[in-house]
Amino acid sequence: MNDLRSKITRLRQQAPYIPKTMQLVWQASGIWMVAWLVLLLLQGALPVAVVYMTRHVVNSLVDVASQSSLSSMMGNHEIVFSVVILGALLVTEKILLSAGQWVRTIQSQRIQDHMAGLIHAQATAVDLSLYDSPAYYDRLHRARMDAMSRPLALLEGMGSLGQHTITLAGMSVLLFSYSPWIPLLLVAGTVPALWVTVRYAGRFNSWRRQNTIEERRCEYFDWLLTMREAAQELRFFDLGDHYRSSYQRLRSRLREEKIALEKGRLLTELGAGTLALLTTALAMLWMISRTIAGLAKVGDIVLFYQAFGQGQRLMSNLLRNTGEIYQNMLFLENLFELLNTVPKVCDPPNPLPVPLLKEGVRFEHIEFSYPESDRRILQEFNLTLKAGEIAALVGENGEGKTTLLKLLCRFYDPDKGRITIDGCDIRELRQVEWRKHVTVLFQEPMRYHVPASDNIAHGDITGKPTKADIERAAKAAGAYDLIKRLPYGFETVLGKWFGGAELSAGEWQRVGLARAFLRRAQLIILDEPTSMLDIWSEAKWFSRFRTLAEGCTVLIISHRLTTTMQADVIHVMGGGRIIESGSHEELLNRHGRYSEAWENRKVMPVV
């Protein structure tokens, strides 16, 4: 009883997803949904007409056959007309079936594309902090798995429910004319099917939620075994067997649990199906006894058998449709959980225009911890980046240098304090507009497997950069010559995913630099810009960079002191705050943390 109550409560909670899903389907398929509804009504009514005409034809044939010859039957216009009508109904039924499949195919493609678009839009809009959460990856995995099929499945379930209800209502009217208890017998024989479907829908949904992370782990093992990024280490450290066996062990457990669930469902369905057959046999015995007693004709037996058999099948399907709708609603919860995720980092109601950065960038009393972490990365952090100045930021790993980049880009907001541009809090600016005034080289720049020109153009895709703009950025980053040496120059696809040219890590970094340099921004942030360059390339690059960055405010995050020494001012981080600031010579003369690193290592470690 408690289990039933919980399922009813759950159903009430999921019910709002039906209109939401129908709205999404309407947005995706529009007029095709109208065509689907019309076909649904016709397909629901036709079987009743076919059964009724079948009885009429059989009874007419029996009556005429007992009194006339075959030739006289063929000449009986009423019989011929009835047979023609029956044939036309059967042909129409087939035509509508094909038309329905065609409409569903179109709907399916449109719905899949629409749902993919919604998920992609939401995945690029949610807070970056969600990508630090395993729970978000679980939710995204379930939504991606279900979004392509569940809305259409719910639509088809609703359609089948409506179609079967129309047909069942007609069949029940026909059966009721024989006895009021016959429709009740239909219900008694098919209710167990609903119980089976609802019970196992809930079980499978619970199993899926509990094992989402294991399914994602399987995908990760599969990725390791099949993608280029891991190929070298798998071979060198002989990890192939380890990850193959890990994948197979996990898949074996998931497979066995799924099979056990399916086995239980099938056995229970077998029992429900046996009960349905017994009710059919009971009903047919009653009808045959009536025919023997002269209370019914042969056509009535045909109609009764068809109507009861179809009615039972329809009732079973109707209840199964109800169960499937319940199941699909359970899974659609995953989709709407993702679509309803509201970003915490959002634009203000009345955003201010972005200042021209004439004074500088200030971090004022910043405190910050990553979500779901107790570790304080920044505490009482204060820093000023003067306009037009090249500043470098150095410090041990984990001190929060890259975190400052993320805060400046407004991927996160500080827990306390504020970041200002010429006195304006960046939380008062529209994110898109603010980011247009900033350009960034991330520590691990993305390797886009597209032509080299597109790789660089991604730095300002909305600005529609010209060929000259792209080549100018490539020269500034030292990537021009290496791209021109490629088989098709700037039109060469980079990376091996689509048969392009592979680059070294340093070459990929230069392409990333070119992408950053393409955007003409007030604020330039470079995270480890020379980590992959040799010392000769590094010196040439910085010489070019000073000319390129003239008039801009620059923040360079680096472990390479040979890079940071050339900045106008160097800030040293420690304990989540700035502990030293000054030029290279000033910091050496202070004999502090920077001087110690310079004397002992020359280059701080990179991870």
- HSE-CB at 124 with a 13 A cutoff on CA atoms is 6
Q: Domain range spanning residue 566?
A: 389-600
Task: Give whole-number Cα distances, 299 to 86, 180, 304, 307, 476, in Å.
Answer: 14, 20, 8, 12, 90
Rounded to an integer, the average pLDDT of 63-80 is 58
Residue 606 inside a domain? The answer is: no
What SS3 class is residue 377? Answer: coil
pLDDT tops 50 at residue 230:
yes
Q: Which of 317, 339, 361 is the endpoint of a domain?
A: 339
User: What tokens were used for 522?
Assistant: 């007030």
Q: Which backbone phi and psi does 177 adopt, to 5 degrees?
A: -65, -20
Both ends of the chain: CA-CA distance in Å?
58
Q: Are residues 420 and 534 in the same domain?
A: yes
Q: 13: how many CB neighbours lie within 10 A of its CB?
A: 12
What SS3 class is residue 502? Answer: coil
pLDDT tops 90 at residue 413:
yes
Beta bridge partners of 362: 384, 420
- What is the share, in percent, of the chain residues with pLDDT greater than 70? 73
- pLDDT classification of 607: cutoffs 50, 70, 90: very low
Q: Are residues 192 and 112 in the same domain?
A: yes
Residue 222 inside a domain? The answer is: no
pLDDT tens for 362-394 read 999 999 998 878 888 998 999 999 999 999 999
Q: What is the CATH number of the domain that holds 56?
A: 1.20.1560.10
Rounded to an integer, the average pLDDT of 205-228 is 81
Q: What is the pLDDT of residue 223?
A: 79
CA separation for the pair 374, 504 (Å, rounded): 38
Q: 207: how many CB neighbours lie within 10 A of its CB?
A: 16
Instruction: Report the C-alpha dihedral over residues 283, 287, 293, 297, rounded to 10 degrees.
Output: 180
What SS3 class is residue 152? Answer: helix
- pLDDT classification of 483: cutoffs 50, 70, 90: very high
Radius of gyration of the chain (CA): 36
Q: What is the CATH number of the domain that holds 580?
A: 3.40.50.300
Q: What integer best gives the mean pLDDT of the chain? A: 79
Q: Which backbone phi and psi does 549 adopt, to 5 degrees?
A: -90, 5
CA separation for the pair 470, 456 (Å, rounded): 6
Residue 239 inside a domain? The answer is: no
Cβ pair 400, 369 in contact under 8 A: no
Rounded to an integer, the average pLDDT of 348-371 is 91
Residue 250 inside a domain? The answer is: no
pLDDT tens for 85-126 read 888 888 888 888 888 888 877 877 787 788 778 877 887 888
Residue 370 inside a domain? The answer is: no
Q: Which of 306, 339, 372 is the endpoint of a domain?
A: 339
Mind giving me the DSSP string for 357-370? -SSEEEEEEEEE--
Strand order across the beta sheet in which 523-527 lies: 438-441, 523-527, 553-557, 390-395, 569-574, 577-582
CA separation for the pair 312, 275 (Å, rounded): 11
Q: Are residues 312 and 415 in the same domain?
A: no
- The more confident residue out of 509 and 296 is 509
Residue 161 inside a domain? The answer is: yes
Amino acid identity, residue 315? M
Q: Which long-range contacts (CB under 8 A, 24 or more apart) does 601-606 make?
A: 601/561, 602/561, 602/562, 603/559, 603/560, 603/561, 603/562, 604/394, 604/396, 604/559, 604/560, 604/561, 605/397, 605/559, 606/528, 606/531, 606/559, 606/560
The distance of Cα 537 from the centroid of its chain, to the nearest Å, equals 42
Q: Are residues 332 and 393 in the same domain?
A: no
- pLDDT classification of 491: cutoffs 50, 70, 90: very high
- pLDDT classification of 520: cutoffs 50, 70, 90: confident
Q: What is the pLDDT of residue 603?
A: 44
Q: Strand 416-421 to strand 424-425: parallel, antiparallel, or no bridges (unpaired)?
A: antiparallel
pLDDT tops 70 at residue 25:
yes
Q: Are residues 580 and 460 in the same domain?
A: yes
Q: Are residues 577 and 492 in the same domain?
A: yes
Q: Strand 416-421 to strand 438-441: parallel, antiparallel, or no bridges (unpaired)?
A: unpaired
What SS3 class is residue 526? Answer: strand
Rounded to an integer, the average pLDDT of 15-21 is 72
Cβ pair 167, 45 in contact under 8 A: yes
pTM, rounded to two decimals: 0.68
Mind giving me the DSSP string for 254-313? HHHHHHHHHHHHHHHHHHHHHHHHHHHHHHHHHHHHHHHTTSS-HHHHHHHHHHHHHHHH
> For residue 358, is it left (φ>0), alpha (ψ between -120 and 50) or beta?
alpha
Residue 11 inside a domain? The answer is: no
Q: 346: how many CB neighbours lie within 10 A of its CB?
A: 13
Q: Are residues 115 and 206 in the same domain?
A: yes
Q: Are residues 107 and 33 in the same domain?
A: yes
Q: Are residues 316 and 393 in the same domain?
A: no
Q: Are residues 485 and 411 in the same domain?
A: yes
How many structural domains is the chain composed of?
2
Q: Which residue has the tokens 């509990």?
A: 210
Residue 580 inside a domain? The answer is: yes
CA separation for the pair 580, 43 (Å, rounded): 79
Q: Are residues 433 and 288 in the same domain?
A: no
Least confident residue range of 70-79, 249-258, 588-597 = 70-79
How many separate helices (H) and strands (E) can be counted in the chain? 21, 10
Rounded to an integer, the average pLDDT of 165-179 is 68
Strand order across the beta sheet in which 416-421 lies: 378-386, 360-368, 416-421, 424-425
CA separation for the pair 426, 365 (Å, rounded): 15
Q: Which backbone phi and psi does 92 adopt, to 5 degrees?
A: -60, -40
Q: Are residues 160 and 267 in the same domain?
A: yes
- What is the share, in percent, of the chain residues with pLDDT greater than 90? 16
From 26, 27, 46, select the one nearest 36 (Cα to Cα): 26
Q: What is the pLDDT of residue 383?
A: 93
- The more confident residue out of 60 and 73 is 60
